[in-house]
Amino acid sequence: MTQTQPETSIQEAVQQKVTDHLAVIYPGHDCPAIARQLLKLMRLDEDCQSPLAHKNLWDQTDMMVITYANTILKENQHPLETLHHFLKTHFTMLINSVHILPFFPYSSDDGFSVIDYKKVNPELGDWSDILRISTDFHLMADLVINHCSAQHQWFVNFQEGKSPGRDYFFTVDPNEDLSGIVRPRTTPLLRSISNGEETKYVWCTFGPDQVDLDFRNPRVLMEIVDIIRLYLDMGVRIFRMDAVAFVWKRIGSSCINLDETHEIVRLLRTLIEHADPNAVIITETNIPNRENLTYFGNANEAHCIYNFSLPPLLVHTLVSGNCRHLKSWLMSMPPAQNGTTYFNFIASHDGIGLRPAEGLLSEEEQEALIQTMENFGGKISWRALDDGNKKPYEINIALFDALKGTTAGEDQWQIERFICAHVIMLALEGIPAFYLHSLVGTTNDYQRMHEHGHNRAINRRQWQEAELNRKIADRKSHHHQVFYQLRNLIQIRREQPAFHPNATQFTLHLGDQIFAFWRQSMDRRQSIFCLNNISDEPQVVLLSSINLIGTEHWKDLISNEFFDDMSASVTLEPYQTLWITNRW
């Protein structure tokens, strides 16, 4: 018989674990005292639970929709209420999780320059709206911990020499050698602040309105932990750690992915999972693939990492008609340990990142991709290099428009190509996440881009609920076609154990025009062979080439076609997918 561990010993063990984390981050500080403070802020001194190691907190029914709170509007109604109604109407029993992008008061960057972490933007609703959504969906919220708004009270206090805030921000001597710093923007790294007596230079990784917090001060860590506790109380189950790779700075280094950064992630993981063993941490690290993978740690950092290389590689595959690089990347991806998995997305509120394609696509291939996206109406955002030059950072375009053709130009296969992209995402190892605009086939919004003055707004349209519902209902509309095809595919995926996020995955080799892989359920009873024609020409596949077992009965889950003759061949039309399985 297993004995329940006494609560006091759990608390003691957690306090020691937190103290050990802190010793790495803050050598020379009174780490046991800081640990006691953190446990008190998280209320772990009152209720401390024991998470199970390597437990998968997800299965094949888990899927997420990513959206701004005010993507869908209705007159005289809070946007959060309108969003809740839209999601319940269209996705109940299909998509069980929602990522609501920053819903706090903000000053810029569509929410990621937070003025007050503890309030809901009154233009969107209030905490009661958040709580209601969290009762119907697993809720993911952003933990924007690298920086806050220059209008946050902490920064106002910093400028006036008051607390809290007086020592919350990272300052540096501008004469230091900062040439090796990795930047995601072209704006100046430092912002000067003068109070008439002295001038300070504050660090701004993402721009002058987003001022970097200084985690060298343990009080900053305590403020963040206090915020985390509030979010848990308000129903947040999934924490998206925004731009977490940049949180620790050390002059003379690249100031990205430092050891202290990883230790902070491990510390927050320890605190969060002992407060709620079902809570999940996802790291948002838009960086090259090898660096991104490090945020799994040894299954002790992020539960999930954003699969940032998937969007640029998949778009490149579909517009070039060649899956060589996508296939090589898939073979290189290590299976996630139980208790961790990949977070798969192919469109988001940001652009198609190019840094995650570094080392995977050649310079010439990236140039061809950029040129094709510009031909389809996309825009390019840039980042600064340490030599003063700039380099493309991301492509800003609605995914539906990104796939309106190939490198040869626009064609008639836009919807089929768009659906193919999502079918691939749905079948890959990991949890799939749909940008709301992709679910309804939203196109480039040039008016919003010009009104807001930045490229990312091209893919952040706001819909009136009634108008969007009319378009979804109109059978002649591409919105209708996209919406209902994706709903059908989501429903199919939910019922397949072989699509569990941690089910076995192997890459198949069927040429450069067929992107193929095999999934097998964790109990080994179900196999699914996923064959995707990623070209604009029909492709013939011999069934014998995928080693279907002749003693089994095989069926395509999408078309319901049966395959009994193992010596036969099958023709895949342009951008067609087969999910061939032995269990249905």
CA 114 – CA 104 distance, rounded (Å): 6
DSSP 15-39: HHHHHHHHHHHSTTS-HHHHHHHHH
Mean pLDDT across the stretch 16-40? 98
Looking at residue 119, its amino acid is K
Distance, in Å, from the CA atom of 66 to the CA atom of 172, rounded to the nearest integer, reads 36
Region of residue 342 (phi > 0: left; psi between -120 and 50: alpha; otherwise: beta) = beta
If you average pLDDT over every residue of the chain, what do you get?
Answer: 96
pLDDT tens-digit map of 503-530: 999 999 999 999 999 999 999 999 999 9
Half-sphere exposure at residue 416, Cβ-oriented, CA atoms within 13 angstroms: 18
Give strand ranges (E) for 346-448: 352-353, 379-384, 390-396, 405-406, 409-410, 431-435
Q: Which residues pair with 64 in a beta bridge?
A: 97, 433
Convert the pLDDT of each residue in 63-74 to its tens digit. 999 999 999 999
What pLDDT does 6 receive? Answer: 60
Residue 3 has pLDDT above 60, yes or no: no
59 assigned ligand-binding residue: no
Question: Is there a catalytic annotation at residue 242?
Answer: yes
Of 71, 77, 59, 42, give the one whose Cα is nearest residue 138.
59
Q: For 436, list phi and psi in degrees, rounded to 5.
A: -55, -40
Task: Select which of 242, 401, 536, 556 is catalytic.
Answer: 242
Residue 401 is labelled as binding a ligand:
no
Q: Is 241 annotated as a binding residue?
A: yes
Determine if residue 425 is labeled as part of a ligand binding site. Answer: no
What's the rounded Cα separation, in Å, for the pair 285 and 353? 11
Distance CA 534, CA 537 (A): 9
Is 147 annotated in a binding site? The answer is yes
Q: How far is CA 490 from CA 64, 100, 137, 396, 494, in A?
A: 11, 20, 16, 26, 6
CB count in 10 Å sphere of residue 559:
11
Q: Strand pairing of 431-435 and 280-284?
A: unpaired
**90 annotated to a ligand binding site:** no
pLDDT digits (tens, 9 = 90+) for 115-160: 999 999 999 999 999 999 999 999 999 999 999 999 999 999 999 9
* Cis amide prior to 164 (ω within 30 degrees): yes
3-state helix, strand, coil in the chain (%, to 5): 35, 20, 45
What is the SS3 string spanning 482-531? HHHHHHHHHHHHHCCHHHCCCCEEEEEECCCCEEEEEEECCCCCCEEEEE
Please report where in the chains the tokens 């063993």 appear, as a residue.
Answer: 277
Note the pLDDT tens digit of each residue in 201-217.
999 999 999 999 999 99
Angle between helices 310-320 and 363-375 (to 10 degrees): 70
CA 179 to chain centre: 29
Q: What is the pLDDT of residues 35-49, one digit of tens each?
A: 999 999 999 999 999
Going by pLDDT thresholds of 50, 70 and 90, the confidence category of residue 452 is very high
State what percent of residues in the chain have pLDDT above 70. Answer: 99
Q: How far, in Å, CA of 230 to CA of 223, rounded?
A: 11
Q: How far apart are the first and last CA of the chain?
A: 39
**Inter-residue contact 84 to 103 (CB < 8 Å):** no
DSSP string for 422-475: HHHHHHSSSEEEEEHHHHTT----HHHHHHHTSGGGGG---EEHHHHHHHHH-T
pLDDT at 552: 85
In this prediction, residue 197 carries a pLDDT of: 81
Tens of pLDDT, residue by residue over 294-344, are 999 999 999 999 999 999 999 999 999 999 999 999 999 999 999 999 999
Q: Which residues contact 105 (CB under 8 A, 6 or more apart)?
A: 114, 115, 116, 119, 121, 122
Q: Is 349 annotated as a binding residue?
A: yes
Task: Please count the other Cβ atoms lying within 10 Å of the Cβ belonging to residue 4.
Answer: 7
Q: Is residue 2 scored above 50 in pLDDT?
A: no
Please answer whether residues 99 and 238 qualify as being in contact, where contact means their C-beta atoms are separated by less than 8 angstroms: yes
Domains and CATH numbers, the chain: 147-212 (3.90.400), 504-581 (2.60.40.1180)
pLDDT in tens, 554-578: 999 999 999 988 889 999 999 999 9
DSSP string for 262-321:
HHHHHHHHHHHHHH-TT-EEEEE--S-HHHHHGGGTTTTS-SEEE-TTHHHHHHHHHHHT
Check the annotation: does 456 bind a ligand: yes
pLDDT higher than 90, residue 4: no
Q: What pLDDT score does 1 carry? A: 40
Compute CA 436 distance to the chain's CA centroid, rounded to the nearest angstrom. Answer: 13
Give the distance, in angstroms, between the CA of residue 108 and the centroid of all CA atoms in the same chain: 20
For 247, counting Cβ atoms within 10 Å of its Cβ (0-12 exposed, 13-18 middle, 19+ buried), the class is buried
Is residue 372 within 8 Å of 319, Cβ to Cβ?
yes
> Is 90 exceeded by the pLDDT of residue 548?
no
Enclosing H/E stretch for 151:
none
- Distance between CA atoms of 453 and 242, rounded to whole angstroms? 23
Q: What is the pLDDT of residues 352-410, one digit of tens each?
A: 999 999 999 999 999 999 999 999 999 999 988 877 788 999 999 999 999 999 999 99
Tokens of 11: 């608390």
User: Which has the closest alpha carbon to 169: 194, 197, 201, 199?
Assistant: 201
Residue 582's Cβ-count burial label (10 Å; 0-12, 13-18, 19+) is middle
Cβ(139)–Cβ(133) below 8 Å: yes
Residue closest to 315 by CA, chosen among 377, 427, 375, 401 = 401
Packing angle between helix 31-41 and helix 218-233, nearest 10 degrees? 20
CA 445/CA 460 separation, integer angstroms: 7
60-109 pLDDT, tens digit each: 999 999 999 999 999 999 999 999 999 999 999 999 999 999 999 999 99
pLDDT 10s digits, 417-448: 999 999 999 999 999 999 999 999 999 999 99
Give the CA count within 13 Å in the CB-facing half-sphere of 575: 24
